[in-house]
Amino acid sequence: MILFRLMNFQTITLKDEGYPSLLKEIANPPKQIYIRGMLPKAATPAIAIVGTRKATTAGVGMAEEIAATLAGAGIVIVSGLAMGIDAAAHRGALSVGGKTVAVLGNGINEIYPAQNEKLAEGILEAGGAIISEYPPGEPSFKQNFIHRNRIISGFSVAVVIVEAPAKSGSLTTAGFAAEQGRSVFVLPGPVTHPNYVGSHALIRDGAILATKAEDVLEDLGLLQGIEGEELGTRIDNFQIELNDKENLILRILKEAGRPLEVDRIVSLTKLEPQAINQALTGLMLKGLTRETNGKYEISYR
């Protein structure tokens, strides 16, 4: 097992080129991130899956299945390495050889809870990352986990909620996601089960109901270009279908003739930032655009 206290880590700041571009867009991005492992490439979309620590067997199974399907489609899975749904999401991604990022609410030198050290080892061995805004030695204070949740959503293009009770910490993640312009998907459950009280309240408040990974991919515009018995099977020669927002962004980038930042794309297209982020993610997954140093350009000619 990895001796986490003795492991090396790297630090990136807001001014560094390697700082995640999506995270940089949120209202209060961390000034620095401590990293173990490897952050995913900027062009790879990430989706967060979070939920209660006291998950049911069914909830754990759903989280693992959705994470596995999304990871199989090339999506990076982001979660908080907590017991229950978070751990299930990480395991689901690893089960198909996918990449996953765990965001800690304590210093980068320790894994909390300690029961998940083996899981953390698997994340690193699979080429994923463990990150924190807290330096070595920072205890796992309760408020740290609330602040941590803004990073989970900020790192991702969307958040999937699985089993959120009335006072679940994942509800704060959903709140941060809404403020950041990210899509929030919620899996429904039995109306009498306490683990779904918060989940159903989110749906009533406008979150998107989802029952499977394909619902998430379809709503984000990431389902096109993927076919076959396994969702993760990509093909090179196919007629790429684009929606109106994707076509508009491609036209803007082509006319600009140079890489553009998200704020500039928003200004030129008059679209909402959330719509821009979803469309850019779809275009990158289809191989039509790329991101470099926070700017987007056409990746074909």
- Give me the pLDDT at residue 224, please: 52
Stretch 295-301: mean pLDDT: 73
Domain boundary among 202, 219, 236: 219
Instruction: Give yes or no: residues 41 and 130 share one domain.
Output: yes
Q: Do the Cβ atoms of 253 and 283 come closer than 8 Å?
A: no
More reliable by pLDDT, 144 or 256:
144
Residue 239 reports pLDDT greater than 60 = no
Q: State whether residue 291 is helix, strand or coil.
A: strand
* Domain range enclosing 289: 244-298
- Domain-located, residue 129: yes
Q: Do the Cβ atoms of 149 and 64 come closer than 8 Å?
A: no
- Give me the pLDDT at residue 7, please: 65
Strand ranges inside 163-294, DSSP E: 183-186, 208-209, 260-261, 289-292
Instruction: Give yes or no: residues 167 and 75 share one domain.
Output: yes
Instruction: Give yes or no: residues 130 and 199 share one domain.
Output: yes
The number of folded domains in the chain is 2
Q: Which amino acid is at 262?
A: V
- Domain-located, residue 150: yes
- Domain-located, residue 231: no
Stretch 8-20: mean pLDDT: 91
Q: State whether residue 195 is helix, strand or coil.
A: helix
What do you get for the CA distance between the two ends of the chain, in Å?
A: 48
Domain boundary among 168, 185, 219: 219
CA distance linking residue 270 with residue 81, whole number of Å = 38
Instruction: Give yes or no: residues 89 and 37 share one domain.
Output: yes
Q: DSSP string spanning 127-169?
A: T-EEEESSPTT----HHHHHHHHHHHHHTSSEEEEE---TT-T
Instruction: Give yes or no: residues 57 and 197 share one domain.
Output: yes
Confidence band, pLDDT 50/70/90 cuts, at residue 228: very low
Instruction: Give yes or no: residues 51 and 163 share one domain.
Output: yes
Q: pLDDT tens digits for 151-203?
A: 999 999 999 999 999 999 999 999 999 999 999 999 999 999 999 999 999 99
Instruction: Give yes or no: residues 175 and 292 share one domain.
Output: no
Instruction: Give yes or no: residues 258 and 130 share one domain.
Output: no
Instruction: Give yes or no: residues 21 and 58 share one domain.
Output: yes
Instruction: Give yes or no: residues 286 and 169 share one domain.
Output: no
Instruction: Give yes or no: residues 18 and 152 share one domain.
Output: yes
- Domain-located, residue 236: no
Write out the two tokens for 172: 């704060």
Provide the CATH number for the domain around residue 72.
3.40.50.450
Say what the pTM is. 0.77
- Domain-located, residue 224: no
Q: pLDDT tens digits for 105-152?
A: 999 999 999 999 999 999 999 999 999 999 998 988 888 999 999 999
- Residue where the block lists tokens 């009533």: 204
CA distance linking residue 130 with residue 108, whole number of Å = 8
Which stretch of DSSP H or E encloses residue 194?
Answer: none
Residue 2 reports pLDDT greater than 80 = no
Residue 229 reports pLDDT greater than 60 = no
Q: pLDDT tens digits for 24-52?
A: 989 999 999 999 999 998 778 899 999 99
Give the chain's mean pLDDT: 87
Provide the CATH number for the domain around residue 263.
1.10.10.10
Strand ranges inside the chain, DSSP E: 10-13, 32-37, 46-51, 76-79, 100-103, 129-132, 158-162, 183-186, 208-209, 260-261, 289-292, 295-298
Domain boundary among 203, 219, 235: 219
Q: Do the Cβ atoms of 93 and 119 come closer than 8 Å?
A: no
